[in-house]
Amino acid sequence: MKAKAIALALVGGLALSLASVTPASAVTTVAPASEPAVATFGDAWMLELEVSATLNAEGGSYSPPINEASGTVDVFIEQVPGTFLDNLTVQSNGRVFVTQPPGQPLLAPGTYDLRAVFTPSSPETGLQTAQVRIPAAITITPLELTANISVVTDASAGMPRLTVALVGAGETELSALPPGVWNLSVREAAGSETLYSRQVLQTSALDPLVVELTDDLRPDVDHVLLAEFVPVAEYAAGVVVTGAGEIPFRTAPKGFGELLVSPIDVPVWALIVALVGLAAGVAGLVTALVVRARRAPRPVGATTEGDAADTAETTDVADIEELFGAPEEVEAPEPVAPAEAESGSDVSSNDDAEPDRDAEPDGDAEPCDETEPNDEAEPEGDAESESDAPIK
């Protein structure tokens, strides 16, 4: 009996000892392990939590290790219905990282309170379900963008060209710049009628948006461009665009090519007078050219049957010569004397010709005998005798 009592006492003591160190008595907590997260709308943010357990036993307390096998964490945001994140894995040091889930809408600007719930993977872990309310855990600020808008109205560039670029703050990532639609409209500064309107989708903020406006705007006139950016629905609640609105610009004056083809308001009577004057000028020019062609000098020796008539028709053309100048005179070559006319009497018959004083006399030449008898001529006496002879 005594031995049996001793055995029962040992078993009871062992059971009490095991009960005092069982993990089921551990107190599990979830607490923030970092400062509250503050981020700009669309930027990445992260909040760090820590899961821990405390075991109270005889001889003191200790913290059992928490790792991936210990359990998972679900995160709820009081301002957002449903579960924000679920089944987050606990890291080897008991840390849990909370970030913006890719499948959830972006948190709009504001301050959010989080609640984290730890669920043990199994009862054998000895850990308890724990939850914690983390007030003011996340603060989201609006995404402020500046629209750099310029309108190029150089005549060489053709129609006015609009360049738009969205620019964020220095720490804003380009990937966070939202896509959206630009609503564009143009009117004259002195009027209210919309002359041009268009919607342009900007899918990427990495490259500036270049839009060619219309060429129907009046040249050299002040206009106003109204530009409004509307982000896609995912970004609409958290984006504020400044720098847009009404942008004044002045269209370029007409270029040289446009002036050539642009219509000119001319009265009909002025146009008729101009055409009649042009026709009269052309007719006068043609007449002058014909007269000049008839007065053109001809080569020496060239004659036509109408020379006399042409000379009579072109005698009175002093006014034509004043306009076009007198026709150039072509000197005719000196006529060559026939071989038979070598006598001095024939040469001296030209009263205008001057004697060649420098020429030396030819000593071999024989003097010309003007009274050289003609052997073939009959004597005058015979002729008279024939005339005095009586008619028989």
The DSSP letter of residue 276 is H
Distance linking the first and last C-alpha atoms of the chain: 232
Higher pLDDT, 273 or 61: 273
Distance, CA of 238 to CA of 177 (rounded, Å): 11
Question: Residue 12 pLDDT more than 50?
Answer: no
Under the phi-then-psi rule, with left for phi > 0, alpha for psi from -120 to 50, and beta for the rest, what region is 125? alpha
For residue 287, give Cα distances in angstroms to 47, 316, 319, 323. 101, 14, 13, 13
Q: What is the dihedral of CA 259, 263, 265, 266, to 10 degrees?
A: 90
From 28, 29, 24, 26, select the one nearest 55 (Cα to Cα): 26
For residue 345, give Cα distances in angstroms to 338, 342, 348. 14, 9, 5
Distance, CA of 347 to CA of 368 (rounded, Å): 13
Grade residue 26 by pLDDT with cuts at 50, 70 and 90: confident
Assess contact for 55 and 66: CB atoms under 8 A: no
For 147-172, the pLDDT digits (tens) are: 888 888 875 656 788 888 787 765 55
Token pair 């000593």: residue: 363
Domains and CATH numbers, the chain: 26-141 (2.60.40.10), 143-258 (2.60.40.10)
Distance, CA of 307 to CA of 303 (rounded, Å): 7
For 98-124, the pLDDT digits (tens) are: 999 988 888 999 999 999 999 998 888
